[in-house]
Structure 1
């Protein structure tokens, strides 16, 4: 499933019409039909439906929807917000079809008081006011209509995108309808995955309106959604004659005297996610404690400086070539200088850099730019760490999560896993996947360490690196979703996620 901007969706529509030969009328009718089919699964003849129509193609969809609901005998009122003469093109054609079928609509401009009364009497509002073509701020009278709708406690279902929202990145001020549900057409729009706009969408259903797959291949938007079906079909398998040495030799460099939990969480998650052999490289002072808490891993005991692994130990005392993959950073500490570049540059296995590893990396990015590693490097920043890496403010990043991830990944030739609501995975060539699993319970210390462990293990099991990364991110979020079946959102700890891994992985495999 692709993720598109409004401009890309316009290109897709044009290609479908000009190159495939499906008319705009066909696409509009198909969109309305798909919307009504889905809506019929959750409404009854007792409902009183109001359809709100704007002047563009979103309004044209609204006329199709209103006609189909009227034909099925629903209690319906239809309101057109702009002057009738402002409705042009295909939307005008469907307005005329609506009228020729014997149905009438009311004008918002002429009956504002009755409009408010109509809203108060309905049970469902269908929002077909403004679509993906909106540019700039919402103007009158749409802004006052949106404000009025948001005052009512009614079920609101938006067509394609909640009216007032941009379909793109970079929008700071959001003035839009708060929908309970959004029936998005063919492909979700970028703003659905960006806050604060995402809070307006409600539950999102993506409806197939018949645009051929070839069109997306030709237009080639580089963003996709990580779907459960994709993860189920691409989980790594294990042959019956597998032995531990072939199931991935993982090294986790983590921990300090003040952060002893991080290596335990990352190592525990890595073991539960399938790595055959896992080794912790930790400071000497905390090794006795950790060896009691994790019994299935081996250890490398490292000399330390101020309670942290020393740079000398990182450079000289770790036999990197014995391992297929390395994760570095969780709980590593920031008291002493460490260089991720010198530590990892000559290593030819896959690497995951997280947490304090990103702090040290942020001070040496010029080296990573001038000499990218030949083997894959995966970084897993949250928004604060991404701000540290890019020099952008968190506010700037929140508005441009897709762009900032892509810019960094392509510039430094790394895989970027930008964590947060709707984690975005970006490859060094700029392809992107957005994840829809997970919830606010993950906003707790240690959950990122668990992801690091899952990532490393999956990268050692899968033939495809991007499938490994996407699957790890999806499963990590799914763990949190499953936990809410028995736990409050405040009560989920990182160790709970690890304990759930066997059950969740089994449910996906079988």
Structure 2
């Protein structure tokens, strides 16, 4: 079993790859379009049989076919089922007389097998035990309407497992947003290029288990096209961190200053500090309200803590720090404003999270030119405030939102959520690791501490963001694999994040009976997810 490719593409880019594969490149002759369609149908049908072996007994299959190549794939899948003597029927959303090219050939081949093909109408019923969605593919641009919308709703209300061919109908391949209505698939088999929308926004929920096949398209085809974004992958991230020298001392690994913890909110800075010290920072100091010092000393005595009542108190702490993390539990009052203002004036990299982002969105005077990198780590709501828009608009196109944030604030930006995105200087990465158990208070505070620690160890800002996001998500996956998603605590992830970091550098202690999960095989629910054939 292999992981999904790192390269992610838009729908138009995948169409370009398709055209290059058919037209031929360099010394590689083109692949006949109908042959390529046959390969797609065979790959999807093979995966379908593996996932639903009951089809070989008495379970029937119903294929919903639209127009274009996606519909053609569906007709050929139905033909393959018939050849195995599986009970199969086709419901056509597009009249076969309107089909052209390879899709028309696929329909004719399917029809020659004697398969019952019925046009969709308001009286159409969902009768199959296994349903195949081959209706819309990647060509959809506007919202789903008419018969297609009614068919999608019928599939979703059927209670039967749905297999999506290439992409769930109604899901935007570029953004991961639902275009009016979308199929909820249990399994998705995608071809040639992994569409970036499958892995962010609503994509991970709607795809179910995701599988990829390149249909034996030669590598030279992919070399002709730069991907739109890159999926974070353990094998590539391993190169970012070197093993520690035997002569190492704490001064080699930086000094992180974490600023936050307003009245009644000590937990956020404690979690960020614990994550930072656990992920390799040489020293960690917390600047917080004086009343929180005892709690910090009791919870994590390895962390230094200083009570600050004003910006003057903070200024004396800035001179020897390597990186600043500002925002965990900081609030939005004048105390918080003054501390964030001082942090942004410091000549070191700064990570802004939580209410520090809200202060930045509310006070334009905080936006100043900086010689050192700045990183923003918003969730969609904070991103919306920074962009002066609403959360729905951010989620409608997460790629556009993260690019706009990076350009507007001249910063490296981590847009958190399902399929977190990282953007910096025209580079975009996507993290496909992570699980719903991470939807709990404190996760963002832990992430900010992890990233701060990596920056303190001299990683470039984009690399620190990419590695930090992946460590955070994959550590949470390992924990969920062992204990389940519900009730997962932010602080419980810290030992697993540390474990993942040491695995990357080859410094993990072996044979302790622990399980380190890969981002594509991290726990039971995802053990067969995100594969390619």
Aligned-pair distance for 1:258?
1.8
Segment drifting more, 453-462 vs 382-391? 453-462
| Corresponding position: 1:192 with 2:190 | no
Partners of 1:290 and 1:15 lie apart in 2 by 59
Q: Report the CA distance between 1:56 and its aligned residue.
A: 0.8
What residue is the counterpart of 2:470 in the other structure? 474
Shift of 1:463: 4.3
- For residues 345 and 504 of structure 1, do their structure 2 counterparts lie closer, same or farther at Cα, with a shift above 3 Å needed? closer
Q: Give the Å deviation of 1:367.
A: 5.7
Output the CA distance in 2 between the equivalents of 1:146 and 1:361: 42
8 Å contact from structure 1 (residues 194, 399) kept in 2: no
Q: How does 1:80-479 map to 2 (within 5 A)?
A: 80-99=92-111, 102-109=112-119, 116=125, 119-120=126-127, 122-169=128-175, 174-196=180-202, 198-232=204-238, 234-302=240-308, 304=309, 310-314=310-314, 316-320=315-319, 322-336=320-334, 338-339=337-338, 342-345=341-344, 347-365=346-364, 368=367, 371-427=368-424, 429-461=425-457, 463-479=459-475
Take 2:385 and 2:401, find their aligned partners in 1: how far apart are those partners?
12
Tell me the equivalent position of 2:480. 484
Structure 1 residues without counterparts, runs of 5 or longer = 305-309
Structure 2 Cα separation of the partners of residues 293 and 341 of structure 1: 25
Shift of 1:216: 4.4
TM-score by length of 2: 0.84
Residue 492 of structure 2 is matched in structure 1 by 496
Give the CA deviation at 1:11: 2.7
Which consecutive residues of structure 2, in runs of 5 or more, have no partner in the other structure?
A: 1-5, 509-533
Say which is worse superposed, 175-184 or 231-240, in terms of deviation: 231-240
Contact 1:340 1:361 in 2 (8 A): no
RMSD of aligned residue pairs (Cα, Å):
2.8
Shift of 1:497: 1.8
Other structure's SS at 1:279 match? strand
Q: What's 1:15 paired with?
A: 20
In structure 2, C-alpha distance between the alignment counterparts of 1:331 and 1:372, rounded to whole Å: 25
1:69-98 superposed Cα distances (whole Å, 9 cap, x missing partner): 334443433443322211111212233344
Q: How many angstroms apart in 2 are the aligned matches of 1:404 and 1:396?
A: 8
Q: Distance in 2 between matches of 1:191 and 1:340?
A: 38
CA gap 1:496/1:198 in 2 versus in 1, 3 angstroms: closer
